Structure 1
Amino acid sequence: MEKSKEVLQLEAANRELQIQLEEANDIIHAIRSGEVDALVVNGKDGHQLFTLKSADQTYRIFIEQMTESALTLDQDGRILYCNSRFATLCTVPLEKVIGMKLLDFVLEEDWIFAQDVIDAAWEIDTRTELNLINSEQEKITVQLSLKALDLDEGTALSIIITDLTELKKHQLLLQVRNEQLEEARQVADQLNSNLENIVSLRTAELELKNDELKIANGYQRKMNTELSIALERLKESDENLQSAFNAGELGSCRVDLTTGKADMSPRFRLLYGLPEDEEIDWAMVVSAIEPEYVAEVTRVLEACATSGTPLDSTYPIRHLASGERRWMRVVGKVKTDKDGNFASVYAVIMDVTAQKQDEQRKNDFIAMVSHELKTPLTSMKGYIQVMQLKAKGNDNAFAVKALDGAERQITKMTNMINGFLNISRFESGKMVIELQRVELSAIVEEIIEEYITTGSNHEIAYNCLPGLFINADQNKLGHVINNLIGNAVKYSPFHSKITIDCLACDQNAIFKIKDQGMGIPKDDLPKLFERFYRVESSQMATVSGFGIGLYLSAEIVTRHYGKIWVESEIGIGSTFYFSIPLDRD
Structure 2
Amino acid sequence: DLARTYSFSLFCAYPMQGFGRGAYEAEFTEICKQHSRVVPAESYAALTSPDERLRAITLLQQKANSLEAEIVERKVAEKALRLSEIRYRRLFEAARDGVLILDPETRKILDANPFMEDLLGYPREELIGKELFEIGLLKDMSANQAMLRELQVKNCIRYEESLETTMGKPQEIEVVANLYDEGEKSIIQCNIRDITERKEIERRKDDFISIASHELKTPITSLKGFTQVLQRRLKKYADQEALRFLTIMDIQLNKLTNLINELLDISKMQQGKLDYREEYFDLDALIQEVVENLQAGTSTHQLLIEGRTAVQAFGDRDRIGQVLINLLTNAIKYSSEADMVLVCASKDEENAVVSVQDFGIGIAAAHHKQIFERFYQVTAPEEKTYSGLGMGLYICTEIIKRHQGRIWVESSKDHGSTFNFTLPLQMYHARASGNSSGTFPLKRGRAT
Decide: shared fold, TM above 0.5. Answer: yes
SS in structure 2 at match of 1:547: coil
2:159 to 305, 313, 324: 313
CA distance in 1 between counterparts of 2:381 and 2:165 reads 52
2:64 to 214, 228, 233: 214
| CA shift in 2, pair 1:470/1:299, >3 Å | farther
Tell me the alpha carbon deviations over residues 43-82 of structure 1, each in whole angstroms, 9 at most, x when there is no partner.
Answer: xxxxxxxxxxxxxxxxxxxxxxxxxxxxxxxxxxxxxxxx
Matches within 5 A, 1:427-438: 427-433=270-276
Is the CA contact (8 Å cut-off) linking 2:100 and 2:109 kept in structure 1? Answer: yes
The equivalent of 2:112 in structure 1 is: 265
Is the CA contact (8 Å cut-off) linking 1:512 and 1:578 kept in structure 2? Answer: yes
The equivalent of 2:399 in structure 1 is: 556
The equivalent of 2:91 in structure 1 is: 241
| CA shift in 2, pair 1:205/1:481, >3 Å | farther
Tell me the alpha carbon deviations over residues 242-284 of structure 1, each in whole angstroms, 9 at most, x when there is no partner.
Answer: 1331xx2x11235666665555625446535668245333444
Please state how far the C-alpha of 1:513 moved relative to its aligned partner: 1.7
| CA shift in 2, pair 1:493/1:201, >3 Å | farther
Please state how far the C-alpha of 1:382 moved relative to its aligned partner: 1.2
Q: Pick which of 319-328 and 438-447 moved more.
A: 438-447
SS in structure 1 at match of 2:372: coil
Is the CA contact (8 Å cut-off) linking 2:338 and 2:360 kept in structure 1? Answer: no
Which of the pair has the greater relative contact order for Cα pairs under 8 Å at 6+ separation? 2
**Matching of residue 573 in structure 1 with residue 408 in structure 2:** no
TM-score (norm 2): 0.71
Identity of aligned residues (%): 28
| CA shift in 2, pair 1:202/1:554, >3 Å | farther
Is the CA contact (8 Å cut-off) linking 2:362 and 2:412 kept in structure 1? Answer: yes
Please state how far the C-alpha of 1:338 moved relative to its aligned partner: 10
CA distance in 2 between counterparts of 1:253 and 1:443 reads 51
CA distance in 1 between counterparts of 2:116 and 2:364 reads 39
Question: Which sections of structure 1, spanning at least 5 residues, go unmatched?
Answer: 1-196
The equivalent of 1:223 in structure 2 is: 73
Please state how far the C-alpha of 1:478 moved relative to its aligned partner: 2.6
Q: Where is the strand percentage greater, Structure 1 or Structure 2?
A: 1
CA distance in 1 between counterparts of 2:347 and 2:295 reads 25
Is the CA contact (8 Å cut-off) linking 1:271 and 1:319 kept in structure 2? Answer: no
Please state how far the C-alpha of 1:405 moved relative to its aligned partner: 1.9
Please state how far the C-alpha of 1:335 moved relative to its aligned partner: 4.6
Q: Structure 1: which amino acid aligns with 2:291? A: I
Please state how far the C-alpha of 1:318 moved relative to its aligned partner: 3.4
The equivalent of 1:483 in structure 2 is: 326
SS in structure 2 at match of 1:528: helix
Matches within 5 A, 1:285-300: none
The equivalent of 2:33 in structure 1 is: none
The equivalent of 2:372 in structure 1 is: 529
SS in structure 1 at match of 2:304: strand
Matches within 5 A, 1:155-554: 206-245=56-95, 248=96, 250-254=97-101, 260-261=107-108, 263=110, 265-266=112-113, 267-268=115-116, 271-272=119-120, 276-277=126-127, 279-284=129-134, 302-306=149-153, 308=154, 310-315=156-161, 317-319=162-164, 321-335=166-180, 345-433=188-276, 440-467=283-310, 472-493=315-336, 496-504=339-347, 507-554=350-397
| CA shift in 2, pair 1:329/1:456, >3 Å | farther
CA distance in 2 between counterparts of 1:527 and 1:464 reads 30
Q: Pick which of 259-268 and 471-480 moved more.
A: 259-268
CA distance in 1 between counterparts of 2:312 and 2:104 reads 33
| CA shift in 2, pair 1:255/1:468, >3 Å | farther
Tell me the alpha carbon deviations over residues 513-544 of structure 1, each in whole angstroms, 9 at most, x when there is no partner.
Answer: 21111223444444323332323345433322
Question: Which sections of structure 2, spanning at least 5 residues, go unmatched?
Answer: 1-46, 431-448
Please state how far the C-alpha of 1:480 moved relative to its aligned partner: 2.1
